[in-house]
Structures are given as C-alpha cells and as structure tokens.
Amino acid sequence: MISFILRRLASAVPTLFIVVTISFFLMRFAPGGPFNLERPLPPQTMANLMKTYQLDQPLWRQYVHYLSNAVTGDFGPSYIYKDNNVAELIGKGLPYSMELGFYALLLAVIGGVTAGTIAALRQNSVLDFAIMSVSTIGVTVPNFVVGPVLTLVFAIVLAWLPAGGWGDGSLRFLILPMIALALPQLAVFARLTRGSMIEALHTDHIRTAKAYGLPSRTVVVTHAMRGAMLPVVSYLAPCAAALLTGSAVVETIFTIPGVGRYFVLGAINRDYTLVMGTVILVAIFVIVFNLLVDILYGLLDPRVRHD
C-alpha cells in the first residue's frame, strides 16, 4: 500500500511538469500581456515594467526561471495585485474556497446518492420521474442563474439568510453559496447513482441474495449499494478538486473572498503568474484526490486492491 502511494506520488512529478509547461507556453502565446491596458502605457514605462518583471528576456529563459523558482515554492509576483505575490494570494483565498467547497461536496454526495438510490429503487415511478426531472434542471440551469434566484428568494423576499459575504464564517452565510455550488454536482451524483444502482440491482449476485431470503434492506444496502458506489467514487475525484478550488461564478455572486475568481481575473488580465499558480493548485488537487479515490476504490473493491 505504501509503495503504491509512493509510486503514485512519484508519477505526479512528470504530470505536474507537463501541466506547467503546457500552460506556461499556451498563456504566453495568447495575444496581449499583463500591461496592455485600455489606454496604452508610454513606451518608456512599458519597457521599464517589462524589465522589472523580466518579461523582456527570451521565453525559454523566463520558463527556466519560473520553473526553478516554482520548485522552491516561489510562484512569482502577481502583475495585477501588486501588493501580494501569487503564493500569498492563494494562501489567503484557499481556506475560504475549501471550506465552502467541502460543505458543497458533502451536500452533493449525500443528497445525490440518496436521491439516486431512491429513484433506482422506485424505477419508472412518479418519484423516480420527479427526482430525475429536478436533477436535469440541476445540470442544465447554470449557477449564475441559480445563485441570483436563491439570493432573490431567500435573502431578499424571505430575508431568511444573508445575501452574500463571508461574515463571521457561520453556516448562515454559507448555505446559499453552498447550494448554488453543490446543485449541479448533486444532480450528477443522483444520475450516476441511479444508473449504477439499477444495474447493480439486476446483477446475478443480487438474485442470489434474494434467493437466500435476505431482507431487502440487506440486499440493497450491503450488496447492491456497495457495488453501485464504484462509479460514483470515480467521479468523486474530479468533483472534489473542482469544488474545493472554488468557483469564480459563485464566489463573485456571493462575494466570497476565495481563490475561484483568480482563475477568471488572472486569465482576463494576462496575469501570467497568477494563472500558473491556480493551474498548479488545481493540478495538485486533482492528483491528490485521484490518489485518495484510488485508495478508497481499493477498500471498496477487493479486485483492485493495491499491494
């Protein structure tokens, strides 16, 4: 098991390297730069800025420079948020995004798996149809619509919950953004669970369990659900990585000081180092969660146990 984890961590190094390299060059080949503002800067100022940030160097040298700094944990200065370097920006925002994302993940998994299981057990009933309709809405309606609607109903009309901000970090502030963030993922979990539960309920070993007179609770929970969770667990990794690294849309709507908005702002402003920082952050999350999920998978399914 430990050697499996070490092997996987070792193989993360080339993955990260490739991700960094591709995004570094893609970013540079995009037109414009961090200092191309609406009103062009005087040529002398521009030249000075470029020199200060070493953007006048050949591209390969910048790349080597970036890599050698990144290895030591220095992800460079942000070109736009001039008071902070990238590591500080992410360090400040990440706890907010992660806390919100964690609750959203919890809601999405518990809600989605429950709804999907109920739908599968009552396949083709009104309840099944209702759950699946709602989950279709969850997938199709974007969160920049869900967010404002939630705010309008619960914060303005009913005035039950605050409209935005982190406040004191209490649950009241988190409920609405959490729902907006979780809803699409909850819908995906519900659909995944329903599909794999229906499949699991038709397997031969479920027939065996029934033939041996086991009560339906045991049949469903012990035998069907454990197998049905395998595809659901696979989706957990990309989903957790996405939720825990924040969402630009939800954080903007609910004015949450997380890292989600840096993805969009960094990209729009050609803030090269900030974009690189967020890309590396997401890559690390994806790698770590994939590893966790593979370990979890092995615990659930003895056939893929890693030894």
Partner 1 sequence: MADMKETILAVRGLKVNFSTPDGTVEAVKGIDLDVRSGETLAVVGESGSGKSQTMMGIMGLLANNGTVNGSARYRGQELVGLPPKALNQVRGSKITMIFQEPMTSLDPLYTIGRQIAEPIVHHRGGTFRQARKRVLELLELVGIPEPGRRIDSYPHELSGGQRQRVMIAMALANEPDLLIADEPTTALDVTIQAQILDLLKSLQKRFGMAIVLITHDLGIVKHFAERVAVMRRGEVVEQGKTADIFERPQADYTKMLLAAEPSGRKAPPADSAPIILEGRDVCVDYQIGGGLFRGGTSVFRAVDSVNLRLKEGQTIGVVGESGSGKSTLGRALLRLLPSSGHYRFGTTDISGFDRGQMRPLRRTLQLVFQDPYGSLSPRRTVGEIITEGLYVHEPELSRADRDRRAIEALKEVGLDPASRNRYPHEFSGGQRQRIAIARAMILKPKVVILDEPTSALDRSVQGQVIELLRDLQRKHGLSYIFISHDLSVVKAMSDYVIVMKNGKIVEEGHTDAIFEAPKQPYTKTLIGAAFNV
List contacts with partner 1 (CB under 8 A): 7, 10-11, 123, 202-205, 207-216, 218, 223, 226-227, 300-303
Looking at the DSSP bridge assignments, the partners of residue 77 are 85
Least gap, CB of 11 to partner 1 (angstroms): 5
The distance of closest approach from Cβ of residue 18 to partner 1 in the complex, given in angstroms and rounded to an integer, is: 13
Nearest approach, Cβ of 218 to partner 1 (angstroms)? Answer: 7
Nearer to partner 1, 294 or 301 (CB): 301
Considering the complex, state which of residue 3 and residue 72 has its C-beta at the smaller distance from partner 1.
Answer: 3
Nearer to partner 1, 4 or 63 (CB): 4
Min dist. Cβ of residue 239 to partner 1 (A): 23
Which residue number, 148 or 231, has a Cβ lying nearer to partner 1? 231
Nearer of residues 21 and 125 to partner 1, judged by Cβ: 125
**Least distance CB 171 / partner 1 (angstroms):** 36
Identity of the residue, 172 or 226, whose beta carbon is nearer to partner 1 in the bound complex: 226
Q: How far is the CB of 204 from partner 1 (least distance, A)?
A: 4
Q: Which two tokens stand for residue 141?
A: 């309606």
- Is the C-alpha dihedral spanning 79, 81, 83, 86 positive or negative? negative
Nearer to partner 1, 7 or 65 (CB): 7
Residues forming beta bridges with residue 85, ordered by sequence position: 77
Q: Cβ of residue 243: shortest distance to partner 1, in angstroms?
A: 28
Q: What is the DSSP string of the chain?
A: -HHHHHHHHHHHHHHHHHHHHHHHHHHHHSSS-TT--SSPPPHHHHHHHHHHTTTTS-HHHHHHHHHHHHHTT---B-SSSTTSBHHHHHHHHHHHHHHHHHHHHHHHHHHHHHHHHHHHHTTTSHHHHHHHHHHHHHHHS-HHHHHHHHIIIIIIIS--S-SSS-TTS-HHHHHHHHHHHHHHHHHHHHHHHHHHHHHHHTSHHHHHHHHTT--HHHIIIIIIIHHHHHHHHHHHHHHHHHHHT--HHHHHHTT--SSHHHHHHHHHTT-HHHHHHHHHHHHHHHHHHHHHHHHHHHHH-GGG---
Kindly tell me which of 198 and 243 has the beta carbon lying closer to partner 1. 198
Task: Write down the least CB distance from residue 129 to partner 1, Å.
Answer: 16
